[in-house]
Amino acid sequence: MKQHTVIDSPYGPLTLVADDGALCGLYMTDQRHRPTEESFGEPDATLYAFGEAEEQLAAYFEGELKEFTLELRLNGTPFQRTVWEQLSRIPYGETRSYGELADALGNPAASRAVGMANGKNPIGIIVPCHRVIGANGSLTGYGGGLDRKQRLLDFERGTALF
């Protein structure tokens, strides 16, 4: 059974979605690949998973948390889940290219497939897809928008404050 709530953040409202009590979605407004509102389930701000996520996100936005420890339910193909697992291994304040992620998966030719899976990440920020950049260091697509991606990277690098 899915439930959702909306919380405030320095990047605008974030919709948190849980499935049977585990966080399965974090979506920004106007996010590419954002599911329909109807798929988020009933509103319920009291769910433990939401309180825990809101607390950790607040600590992250204050610069006090560098690694999330939330129970997640990542719904996707086996390949997508493998890519999302790799995203979670990118240290706070660092970036990796799509090619570097493909290499880490043991398939250097899969950088485009990695990019597609990255774009479908259902739990933005917590599963840090914003830390993936182009091979030449350029910002490339981000479901939450390139401006948000740049702001998140600047924040983690300590070069910008909210």
**Could you tell me the pLDDT band of residue 160, with boundaries at 50, 70 and 90?**
low
Q: Which CATH architecture has domain 78-157?
A: Orthogonal Bundle (1.10)
Q: pTM, whole model, 2 decimals?
A: 0.91
Query: What is the residue extent of each domain of the chain?
Result: 2-61, 78-157
Domain 2-61: CATH class, spelled out: alpha beta
For residues 24 and 5, what is the distance between their CA atoms, to the nearest angstrom? Answer: 12
Active site (annotated) includes residue 24: no
The mean predicted confidence, pLDDT, of the chain is 92
**Could you tell me the pLDDT band of residue 139, with boundaries at 50, 70 and 90?**
confident
pLDDT, one tens digit per residue, over 70-103 is: 999 999 999 999 999 999 999 999 999 999 999 9
pLDDT the model gives residue 29: 87
Active-site residue, selected from the candidate residues 24, 87, 101, 129: 129
For residues 42 and 2, what is the distance between their CA atoms, to the nearest angstrom? Answer: 7
Alpha helix positions (H), 68-142? 78-87, 98-104, 111-119
Cβ atoms of residues 42 and 3 within 8 Å: yes
